[in-house]
Each structure stands twice: as structure tokens, then as C-alpha cells.
């Protein structure tokens, strides 16, 4: 299992400049072009100290064609599926999955006391020629 950074060009905490600013971070992850394997951890979005991530959503851009199943979990360094424990990577393009009531960070999101990343960990089963592409978005507020 490898850790793959997909946050080239991102700076943790940008674009906020002052406390209380609400904003959205977004990144498109192409599993094929990044050569991601099942179980790899893809660092999708940087999270800066003093930020609260209120929710994370995942949009399917290109579905996986895995023969059996293709799923992903969305989390961070403390809880690998804290934001979403079941993203269907075979879902139709345009499908959006987001933090649900059963996810660990569902009630009030998560406040970060140090820099971290929001991570995607995919798993494919069966013959797969297209692993797929997703957009990961986080609704964030600068709190301190």
C-alpha cells in the first residue's frame, strides 16, 4: 500500500485569509493517471491548522468498470473513513456521495489542530481496465 499525493499546487489553508471565512476546496483525482492500486492512500485535499471541515462530498466523473466492485473510503490521518465509509466508484457519472449520518465526522465535521490531508482509499475487485476519476470537495471554515 502506497501513499500518493494528488495535491500538487495546493497550499494548506488557502484560500481563507481571516477567521469565519467559509469556502470550498476541490480536487479532481484520476486514479488511472496516478497509477493508484487497491488500498493506496491518495492525499486529495490539504487541511490547515485551525480549519473545520464541515462535510466532504465525492462526485463521480468517470465511473470505474471493475467487474466485481469498486469502492472508496474518505478520511484523514486519524480516521481513514471518517468522512465517508462507502463511495461507489462504479456509480453513474454525476453521482454525488457525501458525509452521512453514520460517518464519524457527520455531526459537526472535524476541527484540525494541525495540518493534515483529506485522503481517498480506493479498492477495486475483479478485472478493471478503467479505475475511474472523481472530484473531492470539502466545505471548510477557518475557525482560529
d(CA 79, CA 105): 9
The contacts of residue 56 (CB under 8 Å, 6+ apart) are 74, 83, 84, 98, 99, 118, 136, 137, 138, 139
CATH numbers and ranges of domains, the chain: 21-142 (2.60.120)
Q: What mean pLDDT do residues 73-79 have? A: 96
pLDDT higher than 80, residue 127 = yes
pLDDT higher than 80, residue 20 = no
C-alpha cell recorded at residue 44: 486529495
**pLDDT tens across 27-55, in order?**
999 999 999 999 999 999 999 898 999 99
> Given pLDDT bands bounded at 50, 70 and 90, which one contains residue 19?
low
pLDDT higher than 80, residue 8 = no
d(CA 2, CA 15): 29
What pLDDT, on a 0 to 100 scale, did the predictor assign at position 18? Answer: 61
In this prediction the pTM is 0.89
What pLDDT, on a 0 to 100 scale, did the predictor assign at position 2? Answer: 80
Q: What mean pLDDT do residues 46-75 have? A: 95
What pLDDT, on a 0 to 100 scale, did the predictor assign at position 22? Answer: 84
Amino acid at each position: 500500500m502506497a501513499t500518493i499525493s494528488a495535491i500538487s499546487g495546493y497550499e494548506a489553508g488557502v484560500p481563507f485569509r481571516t477567521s469565519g471565512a467559509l469556502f470550498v476546496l476541490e480536487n479532481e483525482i484520476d486514479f488511472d493517471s496516478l497509477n493508484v492500486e487497491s488500498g493506496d492512500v491518495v492525499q486529495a485535499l490539504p487541511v490547515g491548522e485551525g480549519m473545520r471541515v464541515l462535510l466532504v462530498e465525492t462526485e463521480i466523473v468517470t465511473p470505474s468498470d471493475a467487474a466485481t466492485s469498486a469502492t472508496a473510503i474518505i478520511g484523514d490521518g486519524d480516521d481513514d473513513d471518517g468522512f465517508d465509509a462507502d463511495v461507489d466508484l462504479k456509480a453513474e457519472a454525476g453521482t454525488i456521495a457525501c458525509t452521512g449520518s453514520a460517518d464519524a465526522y457527520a455531526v459537526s465535521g472535524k476541527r484540525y489542530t494541525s495540518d493534515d490531508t483529506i485522503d481517498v482509499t480506493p479498492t477495486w475487485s475483479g478485472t478493471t481496465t478503467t479505475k475511474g476519476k472523481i472530484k473531492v470537495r470539502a466545505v471548510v471554515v477557518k475557525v482560529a
